[in-house]
């Protein structure tokens, strides 16, 4: 008995509630600044105007936007800001249409509005969201400067009504159009980014939802200096800002590099002058131990300084391939110079053994191995995203053969023809490694 009564009561309640559903708009309303916009609010069926009260308020501040009470609208109770700007369609109210027209839209009008309807039987409310149409990209006016190795932030934030799924953001270098970072389909893409910026450029992930697409560039290098553009687009809308990254001052690493370069130059000049002076004071034809030492220092010191300078340069700029190659060149150069010297017979002990070891073919072999291992590492990274592993395997094989041939070559052969064959094979392998590293991408695309 009780259960049945409950059921009847329940269905009565549902019926009453069913009769009074207030409708608004399904999504946010968007309108340009200065225009008029209709905020919808209506009920399907209004049984009676008696005791009807309609109240439009800002949901955030609760400010009264407009009021309909006792059969008429009440402009006197409106917030001053909305007087003369917000209107009911008075002839529509009897049909249950309580929509509000808001004129001369301002940026402050953006927000959520509640439409509350009270009648004798029931009440209900609906929330309407209003946004003004805009697509503004803000950056910073001033250029950004940093010391080498520091992290920098380049500002770019979007102020818009557009939802983030539709937004595409690209950070590029305006000089050369290098892609630095890309945001598309609500994701960050770093694969298509230029090698120079891979793993060094990122968004502030937590800030993206706020439309903040500022770029963080980690461990800035000299080559990063330039003008960066943040271009934001959504459909036909598009806007951009540019930021200049200028570099100030050298880091201590750079000062050290500079120091070694100057030391190399100074050492070369001083040693050369003393050598000339000593030789002038020397009896013609004879070579003293002093002259010999000076000559050796002239060969070694500047080259070792340059070797250190390039090594430090590699640390700061991380351009590994150039660094390794230059280092190898500078560390091998003294041996080559001395080997070519007519004083080989004057050398003593260990040094003589070393110089003899580094004869020209060995030097070529070592330099080739160093250069091609740097190239191999570079190619391996370049091909990391290829679908097929064939180029990588081929690169590995040709590199392996190059190392093998260099080992054979450094052993030295009396047989001239064998020597020639080895060198030809080496050239072929070098060609094929170059092909696999750089050439096949263009072939693969056609």
Ligand X SMILES: *[C@@H]1O[C@H](CO)[C@@H](O)[C@H](O)[C@H]1NC(C)=O
Residues in contact with ligand X by CB under 6 A are 38, 42, 89, 92, 97, 99, 153, 155, 157, 204, 207, 212, 214, 231, 240
Q: How far is the CB of 49 from ligand X (least distance, A)?
A: 16
Token digits of residue 179? 């892609």
Tell how strand 144-146 and strand 42-43 pair up. unpaired
Q: Which CB atom, from 227 or from 311, has the smaller least distance to ligand X? A: 227
Q: Which CB atom, from 241 or from 332, has the smaller least distance to ligand X? A: 241
Helix, strand, coil tally for the chain in percent (to 5): 45, 25, 30
Closest CA to 96 of 129, 47, 24, 26: 47
Q: How far is the CB of 401 from ligand X (least distance, A)?
A: 48
Q: How far is the CB of 165 from ligand X (least distance, A)?
A: 20
Q: Which CB atom, from 196 or from 240, has the smaller least distance to ligand X? A: 240
Q: Which residues pair with 226 in a beta bridge?
A: 245
**What number of CA atoms fall less than 13 Å from residue 295's CA on the CB side?**
19
Q: How far is the CB of 66 from ligand X (least distance, A)?
A: 14
Closest CA to 55 of 70, 35, 34, 36: 70
Query: Burial letters for 289-309: b for 16+ Cβ neighbours within 10 Å, e otherwise?
Result: eebeebbbebbbbbbbbbbbb
- 3-state SS assignment for residue 4: helix
Contact 166, 234 (CB under 8 A): yes
Q: How far is the CB of 229 from ligand X (least distance, A)?
A: 7
3-state SS string over 227-253?
EEEEEEEECCEEEEEEEEEEECCCCHH
User: Can you spell out the DSSP letters for 35-48?
Assistant: S-EEE--EES----
Q: How far is the CB of 101 from ligand X (least distance, A)?
A: 7
Tell me, what DSSP letter sits at residue 360?
A: H
Beta carbons within 8 Å of 268's beta carbon, 6+ residues apart:
298, 301, 302
Q: Which CB atom, from 99 or from 398, has the smaller least distance to ligand X? A: 99
Q: How far is the CB of 44 from ligand X (least distance, A)?
A: 9
Q: Which residues pair with 179 in a beta bridge?
A: 172
Q: Which CB atom, from 192 or from 238, has the smaller least distance to ligand X? A: 238
Q: Which CB atom, from 158 or from 405, has the smaller least distance to ligand X? A: 158
Q: How far is the CB of 310 from ligand X (least distance, A)?
A: 36
Q: How far is the CB of 197 from ligand X (least distance, A)?
A: 18
Q: Which CB atom, from 155 or from 297, has the smaller least distance to ligand X? A: 155
Token digits of residue 288? 């003293």
Q: Which CB atom, from 215 or from 375, has the smaller least distance to ligand X? A: 215
Phi and psi at 106, nearest 5°, equal -115, 170
Q: Which CB atom, from 154 or from 309, has the smaller least distance to ligand X? A: 154
In 155-223, which ranges are E strands? 157-160, 168-173, 178-184, 187-189, 201-203, 215-217
């Amino acid at each position: 008995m009780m259960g049945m009564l409950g059921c009847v009561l329940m269905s009565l309640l549902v019926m009453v509630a069913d009769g009074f559903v207030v409708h608004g708009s399904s999504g946010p309303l968007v309108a340009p600044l200065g225009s008029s916009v209709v905020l919808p609010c209506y009920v399907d069926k209004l049984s009676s105007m008696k005791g009807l009260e309609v109240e439009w308020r800002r949901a955030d501040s609760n400010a009264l936007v407009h009021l309909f009470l006792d059969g008429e609208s009440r402009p006197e109770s409106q917030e001053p800001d909305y007087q003369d700007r917000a209107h009911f369609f008075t002839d529509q109210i009897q049909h249950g249409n309580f929509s509000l027209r808001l004129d001369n839209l301002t940026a402050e009008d953006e927000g959520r509005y509640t439409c509350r309807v009270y009648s004798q039987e029931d009440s209900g409310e609906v929330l309407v969201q209003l946004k003004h149409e805009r697509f503004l990209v803000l950056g910073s006016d001033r250029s950004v400067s940093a010391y080498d190795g520091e992290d920098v932030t380049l500002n770019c934030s979007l102020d818009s009504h557009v939802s983030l799924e539709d937004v595409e953001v690209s950070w590029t270098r305006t000089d050369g159009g290098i892609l630095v970072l890309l945001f598309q389909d609500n994701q960050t893409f770093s694969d298509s980014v230029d090698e120079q910026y891979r793993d060094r450029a990122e968004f502030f992930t937590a800030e993206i939802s706020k439309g903040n697409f500022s770029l963080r560039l980690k461990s800035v290098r000299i080559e990063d200096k330039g003008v960066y553009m943040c271009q934001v687009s959504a459909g036909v809308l598009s806007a951009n800002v540019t930021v200049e990254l200028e570099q100030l001052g050298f880091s201590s690493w750079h000062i050290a590099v500079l120091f070694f370069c100057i030391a190399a130059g100074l050492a070369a000049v001083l040693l050369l002058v003393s050598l000339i002076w000593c030789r002038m004071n020397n009896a013609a034809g004879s070579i003293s131990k002093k002259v010999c030492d000076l000559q050796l220092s002239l060969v070694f010191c500047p080259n070792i300084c340059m070797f250190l300078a390039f090594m430090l340069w590699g640390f700061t700029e991380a351009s590994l391939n150039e660094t390794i190659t230059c280092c190898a060149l500078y560390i091998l150069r003294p041996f080559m110079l001395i080997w070519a010297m007519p004083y080989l017979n004057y050398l003593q002990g260990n040094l003589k053994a070393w110089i003899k070891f580094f004869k020209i073919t060995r030097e070529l072999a070592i330099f080739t191995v160093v250069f091609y291992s740097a190239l191999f590492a570079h190619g391996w990274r370049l091909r990391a995203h290829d679908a097929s592993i064939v180029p990588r395997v081929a690169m590995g094989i040709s590199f392996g053969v190059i190392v093998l041939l260099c080992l054979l070559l450094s052993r030295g052969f009396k047989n001239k023809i064998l020597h020639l064959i080895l060198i030809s094979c080496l050239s072929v392998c070098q060609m094929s490694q170059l092909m696999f590293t750089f050439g096949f991408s263009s072939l693969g695309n056609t």
